[in-house]
């Protein structure tokens, strides 16, 4: 991954910006939401492969900064919501799309289905993803 950052440094315009935007694992909350309210029913389980990817990305950007290629201009964390009409839709999506990254265990899946079934008619099931946004300036 450091090699990719080295290539970005090579091709980026002088004093150009590198945007580091990515999800950060950490047992993302599973929620049932309706109107302005929500209820957390559990958390996803981080897959070892996903955690290893996070650590690798962090080490690579730290190494690029240590080598003096980029300086941190600023950054923030924010929540991004993945939302589904039903708990079954969420379960199917996570099984198919997030395998090897984050997992929904059976206890949390049952809790989401139960909470969704008794919630208001407009209730949706969602996962609150922790996002990282850092802006790095190329050092010339």
Runs of H (alpha helix) within the chain: 2-11, 48-66, 87-97, 106-118
CA distance 56 to 75: 19
Bridge-partner residues for 78, per DSSP?
A: 131
pLDDT at 18: 96
20-67 tens-digit pLDDT: 999 998 999 999 999 899 999 999 999 888 888 889 999 999 999 999
67-113 tens-digit pLDDT: 999 999 999 999 999 999 999 999 999 999 988 789 999 999 999 99
**Count of domains observed in the chain:** 1
| pTM reported for the whole predicted model | 0.86
pLDDT at 1: 82
**Sign of the alpha-carbon torsion through 6, 12, 16, 22:** negative
CB 126 within 8 A of CB 31: yes
Structural domain including 55 reads: 2-138
């Amino acid at each position: 991954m450091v090699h990719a950052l080295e290539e970005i440094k090579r091709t980026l315009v002088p004093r150009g910006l590198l945007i580091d935007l990515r999800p950060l694992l950490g047992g993302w909350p599973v929620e049932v939401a309706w109107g302005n309210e929500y209820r957390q029913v559990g958390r996803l389980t981080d897959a070892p492969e996903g955690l290893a990817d996070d650590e690798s990305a962090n080490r690579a950007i730290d190494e690029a900064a240590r080598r003096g290629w980029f300086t941190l201009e600023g950054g923030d964390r924010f929540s991004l919501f993945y939302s589904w009409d039903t708990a079954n839709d969420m379960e199917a999506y996570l099984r198919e799309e997030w395998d090897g990254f984050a997992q929904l265990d059976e206890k949390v899946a049952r809790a989401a289905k139960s909470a969704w079934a008794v919630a208001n008619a407009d209730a949706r099931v969602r996962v609150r993803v922790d996002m990282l946004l850092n802006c790095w300036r190329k050092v010339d």
